[in-house]
Amino acid sequence: RNHSTAAVLEEPISPGVSVNYTQLMINGKFVDAASGKTFPTLDPRTGEVIAHVAEGDAEDVNRAVSAARKAFDEGPWPKMTAYERSMVLLRFADLLEKHNDEIATLETWDNGKPFEQAAKIELPMIARLFRYYAGWADKIHGLTVPADGPYHIQTLHEPIGVAGQIIPWNFPLLMFAWKIGPALACGNTVVLKTAEQTPLSALYATKLLHEAGLPEGVVNVISGFGPTAGAALARHMDVDKLAFTGSTETGKVILELAAKSNLKPVTLELGGKSPFIVCEDADVDQAVELAHFALFFNQGQCCCSGSRTYVHESVYDEFLEKAKARALKRIVGDPFKKGIEQGPQIDNKQFEKILKYIRSGIESGATLETGGERLGSKGYYIQPTVFSNVKEDMVIAQDEIFGPVQSILKFKDLDEVIQRANNTRYGLAAGVFTKNIDTANTLTRALRAGTVWVNCFDVFDAGIPFGGYKMSGIGREKGEYGLKNYLQVKAVVTPLKNA
Ligand code: ADP
């Protein structure tokens, strides 16, 4: 239970950059909120204010949607050639690379994720994703369809219009990229609402998008809260499509707002309780490391985190001992410090929620192997926590904890683990760890999840579709599949001239 607290610095490292963009981006310009209101965005390392950011509300959403509507209806964006749109995205990717460390600094400061993760993994992945979708821009086209009569029939794949997008705080700029990339490649215009916890990186990136040649009004960014700015976007009559990433609970609200307003199509990427299955033939050391990564990556704040670690009984004891040792070795501390694996949780609300789940785990009879408490005396750091003897009926095995809490469950055979793994309302992802090809094939087909990672986890290449079965969501993002969300299909039927 005694986690080393040595890594937590009492005095946080200075980020060394200043926050230059705090207003709303509407119609190509940074502007204050109509109400003049601002809200503070906090440093999760200390809870102190980083900056005061303009607080968008319904009136600002109206202004942003009008700008996006005009940019869509009058152009130039949807009327530019696909090649020209592609070039804007490519130039943007170059600018992201040029400002890589500055943006990664904002991301770490606002979110608490390790700087090395932001700078070396996420930012390059974001630039790569924009290049991927830049490549699609001039390869989106319809079909010709054979007819029973003398008709020439073609389909046009047209942009859907004004896309409303609402994103969460766990991967602020990556979520911005997953949303904006395909929307722009298809020729849509966008109003995006960032999460209230993490408004900074998207504002910086939006400035670069305009520097890359994006016409005004094409991407509008509103900082603000869910029930005000978010809901105004979800129910807006002039928004043609809505994409949301966040909790299942809020996803339901979004879908209802869309249904009650103009029936805009909605894609949802929601919560998860993903199983990670370690089979009897597994190399235990490798399985421990991967299961650890699957759960603890990004402070455990991943919708797809492998939060139910199923281990075959024949390797359970060895796995447990090593998983505990690995968690004890996890390096937690100021995310700006080199070599840090885990920073603070995003905010006090999540921090308290996670600690409450840990107490619930203990009370329900799971064995707390290590961790379980806050780390240090300020900020939202939590000890890497491991529970064993976890049973499916415990709250910690059912709810999404969204924190550094690993739950280990024992299983006997494949049929049983398939049934137990699928016995959840979620279906976002699953991990399978085995050397046996038959076992891998059986599990990948039986698991009801949008992604199954075999002997790997959290592989997020731009071309791989991502999304959930069941209450983990509707639709797929990324890849060619992600384009469909942002296109309308128009059938055009013309009589053949000399028929
Ligand atoms: P979390 O609980 O982790 O903050 P949410 O699903 O509530 O997750 O938040 C994800 C995004 O949804 C954020 O941008 C948030 O502001 C927004 N949001 C929250 N509530 C609503 C709502 N009622 N309508 C629209 N957007 C919302």
Q: What is the mean pLDDT of each run of 10 residues along the chain (499 residues)?
A: 58 93 98 98 97 98 98 94 98 98 98 98 98 98 95 97 98 98 98 98 98 98 98 98 98 98 98 98 97 98 98 98 98 96 98 98 98 95 98 97 98 98 98 98 98 98 98 98 98 86
Q: Which atom of ligand 1 is nearest to the CA of 196?
A: 16
Q: What single string gives the DSSP state of each residue in 60-102?
A: HHHHHHHHHHHHHHT-SGGGS-HHHHHHHHHHHHHHHHHTHHH
> What distances in angstroms separate CA 193 from CA 81, 245, 303, 402, one per listed residue?
27, 11, 19, 21
Measuring from atom 20 of ligand 1, which residue has the nearest CA? 226
Q: Which atom of ligand 1 is nearest to the CA of 225?
A: 16
Q: CB of 247 closer than 6 A to ligand 1?
A: yes
Other beta carbons less than 10 A from residue 307's beta carbon? 25
Q: CB of 193 closer than 6 A to ligand 1?
A: yes
Torsion of CA 263, 267, 269, 270, to 10 degrees: 20
Dihedral sign, Cα of residue 205, residue 210, residue 214, residue 215: positive
The whole-angstrom separation of Cα 10 and Cα 22 is: 28
Other beta carbons less than 10 A from residue 21's beta carbon? 21
The residues annotated as belonging to the active site are: 269
Q: CB of 250 closer than 6 A to ligand 1?
A: yes
Q: Could you give the 3-state DSSP secondary structure of residue 341?
A: coil
Task: Give the pair of three-digit tokens for residue 243.
Answer: 């994409």
Please tell me the total number of residues recorded for the chain in this structure: 499
What is the Å distance from ligand 1's center to 226 Cα? 5
Q: Which atom of ligand 1 is nearest to the CA of 402?
A: 3
Q: CB of 166 closer than 6 A to ligand 1?
A: yes
Q: CB of 243 closer than 6 A to ligand 1?
A: no
Are residues 260 and 231 in contact, defined by beta-carbon separation less than 8 angstroms?
A: no
Query: What pLDDT, on a 0 to 100 scale, did the predictor assign at position 11?
Result: 85
What is the Å distance from ligand 1's center to 147 Cα? 47
The helix or strand, by DSSP H or E, that contains position 277, with its residue range, turns out to be strand 275-278
Extract the runs of DSSP E, i.e. beta strands, from 314-443. 367-370, 385-388, 405-411, 429-433
Q: Which atom of ligand 1 is nearest to the CA of 168?
A: 10
Q: Which of 41, 111, 165, 166 for a ligand 1 pocket mutation test, highest count of atoms within 8 Å of Cβ?
A: 166
What is the Å distance from ligand 1's center to 246 Cα? 6
Phi, psi angle pair for 333, to nearest 5°: 170, -165
Q: CB of 230 closer than 6 A to ligand 1?
A: yes
Q: CB of 16 closer than 6 A to ligand 1?
A: no
Q: Which atom of ligand 1 is nearest to the CA of 249?
A: 6
Beta bridge partners of 154: 144, 492
- Do β-strands 241-245 and 266-269 pair in parallel, antiparallel, or remain unpaired? parallel
The whole-angstrom separation of Cα 468 and Cα 460 is: 14
Q: Select from 245, 224, 104 the least CA-distant residue to 175.
A: 245
Q: CB of 61 closer than 6 A to ligand 1?
A: no
Measuring from atom 13 of ligand 1, which residue has the nearest CA? 195
The whole-angstrom separation of Cα 353 and Cα 404 is: 12
What is the Å distance from ligand 1's center to 491 Cα? 36
Q: CB of 46 closer than 6 A to ligand 1?
A: no
Q: Select from 367, 440, 444, 373 the least CA-distant residue to 409.
A: 367
Q: CB of 231 closer than 6 A to ligand 1?
A: yes
What is the Å distance from ligand 1's center to 306 Cα? 23
> What distances in angstroms separate CA 61 from CA 25, 57, 237, 264, one per listed residue?
11, 6, 12, 16
Q: CB of 202 closer than 6 A to ligand 1?
A: no
Query: What pLDDT, on a 0 to 100 scale, did the predictor assign at position 410?
Result: 98
Dihedral sign, Cα of residue 7, residue 8, residue 10, residue 15: positive
Could you give the strand order of the β-sheet that contains 24-26, starting from the edge strand earlier in sequence? 29-31, 24-26, 219-222, 189-193, 162-166, 241-245, 266-269, 473-474
Query: What pLDDT, on a 0 to 100 scale, did the predictor assign at position 315?
Result: 98
Q: CB of 254 closer than 6 A to ligand 1?
A: yes
Other beta carbons less than 10 A from residue 147's beta carbon? 12
Q: Which of 250, 354, 472 for a ligand 1 pocket mutation test, highest count of atoms within 8 Å of Cβ?
A: 250
What is the Å distance from ligand 1's center to 404 Cα? 21
Measuring from atom 23 of ligand 1, which residue has the nearest CA? 227
Measuring from atom 4 of ligand 1, which residue has the nearest CA? 168
Dihedral sign, Cα of residue 17, residue 20, residue 22, residue 28: negative
Could you give the strand order of the β-sheet that contains 308-312, starting from the edge strand earlier in sequence? 367-370, 385-388, 405-411, 308-312, 275-278, 429-433, 451-454
Q: Could you give the 3-state DSSP secondary structure of residue 480?
A: coil
> What distances in angstroms separate CA 34 from CA 192, 199, 237, 338, one per listed residue?
17, 18, 20, 42
Measuring from atom 14 of ligand 1, which residue has the nearest CA? 195
What is the Å distance from ligand 1's center to 248 Cα? 10
- Do β-strands 151-159 and 308-312 pair in parallel, antiparallel, or remain unpaired? unpaired
Instruction: Supply the DSSP symbol for 212.
Output: T
Query: What pLDDT, on a 0 to 100 scale, did the predictor assign at position 1?
Result: 45
Torsion of CA 16, 17, 18, 23, to 10 degrees: -140
Q: CB of 62 closer than 6 A to ligand 1?
A: no
What is the Å distance from ligand 1's center to 367 Cα? 33
Residue 250 contacts by C-beta under 8 Å, 6 or more apart in sequence?
A: 226, 244
Task: Give the pair of three-digit tokens for residue 446.
Answer: 């039986």
Are residues 202 and 192 in contact, defined by beta-carbon separation less than 8 angstroms?
A: yes
Distance of CA 178 to the CA centre of its chain: 8
Residue 298, sorted as left (phi over 0), alpha (psi -120 to 50) or beta, turns out to be left
In degrees, rounded to 5, the angle at the alpha carbon of residue 320 between the alpha carbons of residues 314 and 325 is 145
Query: What pLDDT, on a 0 to 100 scale, did the predictor assign at position 380?
Result: 97
Measuring from atom 16 of ligand 1, which residue has the nearest CA? 226
What is the Å distance from ligand 1's center to 251 Cα? 8
Q: Could you give the 3-state DSSP secondary structure of residue 33?
A: coil
Q: CB of 175 closer than 6 A to ligand 1?
A: no
What is the Å distance from ligand 1's center to 253 Cα? 9
Are residues 311 and 319 in contact, defined by beta-carbon separation less than 8 angstroms?
A: yes
